[in-house]
Amino acid sequence: MDIATVKAASALLVRHWEEGTVLEKLPGALRPKTRMEGYLIQAQIESISKSPLFGWKIAATSAAGQKHIAVDGPLAGRLLAEKVHEDGDVIPFGGNRMRVVELEFAYRMGRDLPPKPAPYQTHEVFDAIADLHLAIEIPDSRFADFVTAGGPQIIADNACANRFLLGPKAPAVWRELHLAKHRMVGRIGSRLEREGVGANVLGDPRLALTWLVNELSSLNVTLAAGQVVTTGTCVVPMEVEPGDVVTADFGVLGTVGCRIGNV
């Protein structure tokens, strides 16, 4: 793909996001055929933000999630500062069509991890973490049927990144815990309760973070100090409606929550 085509594809997706509309698929001339082309399109959205890139998300971190959208591995997306919220916020729902929330572990990086020829090892990545945060993601897509869009188009559409709630910093004891075995409970008011475990994200949230670092390295992108990486949903995505109150209980690590807005 030449740069004009890449920018045109990104502009079309951005327009649909801004207008709250959807499309069946990108026009043939603008449709990415590979993951790399998808990432080239995705990268253009950084130019619409007035702030430095807030961080990254990982989609499809479970076998079930990958099967659901017919991809063979995880996908990375960008978190824009304008879409980030805090604990207790009312999250604008708008025309969200996915209508789910996801409970996640999010890492804030303490130093840069630049591209390098050899893959990063988990211990290298772990040593670069500054803090662990509790988080909730509220994803969405501009494709009318994101399930059949395919990996390259989903990547182009920012891997379904939309609203993101960065909750409180976890107590320092998190470094001593085996997060793969750590359980959390999500509640939607009193009508829905769902439990999950850290192992649901590529077997361990640390492995998911390492995957992201190496994915960015392959794209010649640095995971920068201060950026946040949310590592994928630890529970089966929880269905929400406007007005719902969402609570995520991470046990000894704390709680985080929000209300889904009526608009």
Q: For the CA atoms of the chain, what is the radius of gyration? A: 17
Q: How do residues 20-63 score in pLDDT, each as one tens digit? A: 999 999 999 999 999 999 999 999 999 999 999 999 999 999 88
Residue 33's SS3 state is coil
* pLDDT at 29 (0 to 100): 97
Prediction pTM value: 0.96
- pLDDT at residue 67 tops 90: no
In this predicted structure, the answer to whether residue 65 has a pLDDT above a threshold of 90 is: no
Strand pairing category for 55-59 and 75-79: antiparallel
Q: pLDDT tens digit string along 173-190?
A: 999 999 999 999 999 999
Say if residue 263's pLDDT is above 80: no
Place of tokens 């950026």: 227
Planar angle of CA 245, 49, 80, nearest 5 degrees: 40
- 140-146: list long-range contacts, CB under 8 Å, 24+ apart: 140/96, 140/97, 140/98, 141/22, 141/97, 141/98, 142/13, 142/16, 142/17, 142/21, 142/22, 142/23, 143/22, 143/23, 143/24, 143/25, 144/22, 144/23, 144/24, 145/24, 146/69, 146/98
pLDDT, the chain, mean = 96
Domain boundaries, the chain: 3-260
Q: How far apart are CA 227 and CA 126, in angstroms?
A: 14
| Axis crossing angle, helix 35-43 with helix 3-19, rounded to the nearest 10 | 60
| Helix or strand run (H / E) with residue 108 | strand 100-109
pLDDT of residue 1: 93
What's the chain's length in residues? 263
CATH 3.50.7.10 fits 3-260, yes or no: no
Q: Which residues contact 28 (CB under 8 A, 6 or more apart)?
A: none
